[in-house]
Amino acid sequence: MAEKHIARSKYDRFFFIAGLAVLVLGVVLKLCQSMPAFRRIYDLPVFLMLIGAVTALKGFLAFSKHHEGTVVLSRKTFGAFLTNNAILLAMLVLVVIICILQPRFMQIRVALDILTQSSTRLIIALGICFTLLIAGTDLSAGRMVGFAAVISASMMQTATYSNRFFPDLPQIGVWIPIIAAIAACMVFGALNGFLVAKYDMHPFIATLAVQVIIYGTCSLYFDMPPNNSQPIGGVRPEFAALGQMRIFAGNGFQGISILIPIAVVICVIIWFILNKTVFGKNVYAIGGNREAAVVAGINVFACIMCIFILASCLYGIAGVLEAARTAGATNNYGNGYELDAIAACVVGGVSLNGGIGKVSGIVSGVLIFTVIQYGLQFINVSPMWQQVIKGVIIAVAVAIDLTKYRRK
């Protein structure tokens, strides 16, 4: 392919027009859907309209800003595009294949399901990304999720439920157990941070120790009489609503899970913290070069403490949401979530060497995993094969990501 230079404005205009074309195609398909031949495309027209509208809007915005310069189209830039987006592209290919094999996949309902399933995972991944950004890790994340779930569910049972955790507990406000659960996690987060910041312990070991401590503590709590390690059930409906409520439901539309807006809000908050606050900048600085951060006068101790406490706060939120969504809890909730979260972060471009990682990357990392998992289930791939595929994705994604840096 020969090298081709295109003016930036022309490039942006192309996106605008292409987006419009896809939008129009979607509208046309929607109109044709009453014909029996087009029955089997399900919600494809709506997706096309959405994709078209977003592309057109992006193109329009870029175009209206009047960027200078040219865009180079060549074999090299094409190759760079492929490696930079390899996993996303692979996911797209997979989605197309699934859609052909099983057209029912093309439904708004499916997309919303995927987003709902991604929500709590995303919250955990956003917490863990802070610890990855300082070249650390957090193995206690999953157990903290379980701990928060058990604590919140234990205090939120209906008065009439036969097997109550606290038989004499009055019907307290919903916010009390939520705060208690999150605060309990933050105590352990502070312990994580203290071990790492004060003793310069490797986060892998510090959080491994804390993980075990949390599981033990959680099990002791769970085993208290009269509960004696029975799964907690009979959760009050106003608490369960936190994870099960659907907004905009009705008129044949099943509604949007409340988890999605919660995850979006947390996402925005984390993005803000990472990009717009002193704390966020210090996180990147410590991850980029800890020694230099010390010399620059950054309070590394306080920063590391904050990182682990903030992360545990997010795990706590995720735990409460899990308990609400499933209307129950056991001490085994959250087991292994930290590894899924780390994998999603890494696939989303967060470097385990610290200092590199974006919220957008983590969002796509989490989505990729959910889409692939959901999609493979949808076309009845065996769970064993799903595991193999998941592992391959992690290895390939990181390998591609690293070659990107090695080229420099």
Partner 1 sequence: MSEYVLEMRNITKTFPGVKALDNVQLKVRPGTVHALMGENGAGKSTLMKCLFGIYRQDSGEVLLDGNPVKINSAREAMDNGIAMIHQELHPIRFRSVMENVWLGRFPGLMGVVDHKAMYDKTKELFEDLGLSVDPLALAGEQSAAILQMMEIARAVSINAKIIIMDEPTSSLSDREVDFLFRIISRLREEGRAIIYISHKMKEILQIADEVSIMRDGQYVGTWPALGLTTEEIIRQMVGREMTNQFPPRTGAPSDEIVLSVRNLSSPLKKSFQDVSFDLRKGEILGIGGLVGAQRTEFVEALFGLRSIESGAVTKDGKAYRARSPRDAKAHGFALLTEERRATGIFGILPILENTVIANQKNYARMGVLDERRRVREADAGCKGLNVKTPSLNTLIQDLSGGNQQKVLIARWLLTNSDILILDEPTRGIDVGAKYEIYNIMLQQVNQGKSIIMISSEMPELMGMSDRIVVMCEGRVTGILEKGQYSQEEIMRLATMFAGPRKNAEDHPAAD
Q: Which residues bind partner 1 (CB under 8 A)?
A: 276-279, 281-282, 284-285, 288-289, 291-299, 355-356
Instruction: Decide whether 166 or 301 has the Cβ nearer to partner 1.
Output: 301
Distance CA 105, CA 95 (A): 9
The nearer residue to partner 1, 355 or 361, going by C-beta atoms, is 355
Distances (CA, A) of 119 to 210, 277, 319, 361: 25, 24, 12, 15
- Residue listed under structure tokens 């939008």: 23
Nearest distance, CB of residue 85 and partner 1, angstroms: 21
In sign, the C-alpha dihedral spanning 308, 309, 315, 319 is positive
Q: Could you tell me the smallest distance in angstroms from the CB atom of residue 294 to partner 1?
A: 6
Here the tokens at position 324 are 């609400």
Q: Which is nearer to partner 1, 73 or 356 (CB)?
A: 356
Closest separation between CB of residue 262 and partner 1, Å? 23
Torsion angles phi and psi, residue 160, rounded to 5? -90, -5
Structure tokens at 30: 């929607």
Burial of 34 (0-12, 13-18, 19+ CB in 10 A): exposed
Q: Which is it for the CA torsion 204, 205, 206, 207, positive or negative? A: positive
Indicate the residue type of 341: A
103 vs 280, beta carbon nearer partner 1: 280
List the beta bridge partners of residue 232. Answer: 329
d(CA 140, CA 383): 26
Cβ closest to partner 1, residue 351 vs residue 364: 351
Q: How far is CA 247 from CA 115, 259, 367, in A?
A: 14, 10, 21
Residue 407 CB, shortest distance to partner 1, in Å, is: 13
- CA–CA separation, 6 and 349 (whole Å): 29
Q: Which of 292/399 has CB closer to partner 1?
A: 292
Q: How far is the CB of 23 from partner 1 (least distance, A)?
A: 33
- For tokens 């099960």, the residue is 244
First-to-final CA distance of the chain:
23
Q: Residue 374 carries which side chain, given as an amino acid letter?
A: Y
Instruction: Give the nearer residue to partner 1 in terms of CB position, either 172 or 268.
Output: 268
CA distances from 315 to 286, 311, 318 (A): 22, 6, 5
Least distance (Å) from partner 1 to the CB of residue 295? Answer: 5
Q: Decide whether 87 or 285 has the Cβ nearer to partner 1.
A: 285
Minimal distance in Å, beta carbon 164 to partner 1?
A: 43
Q: How far is the CB of 62 from partner 1 (least distance, A)?
A: 17
Q: What are phi and psi of 109, to 5 degrees?
A: -55, -45
246 forms beta bridges with 257
Nearer to partner 1, 158 or 353 (CB): 353
Least separation in angstroms between residue 78's CB and partner 1 is 23
- Nearest approach in angstroms of CB 408 to partner 1 is 8
Q: How many other β-carbons are positioned within 10 Å of the β-carbon of residue 384?
A: 8
| Residue 83 vs 277, nearer CB to partner 1 | 277
The smaller minimum CB distance to partner 1, of residues 101 and 278, is found at: 278
Query: How many C-beta neighbours within 10 Å does residue 388 have?
Result: 11
| Smallest gap from residue 224 Cβ to partner 1 (A) | 40
Beta bridge partners of 5: 72
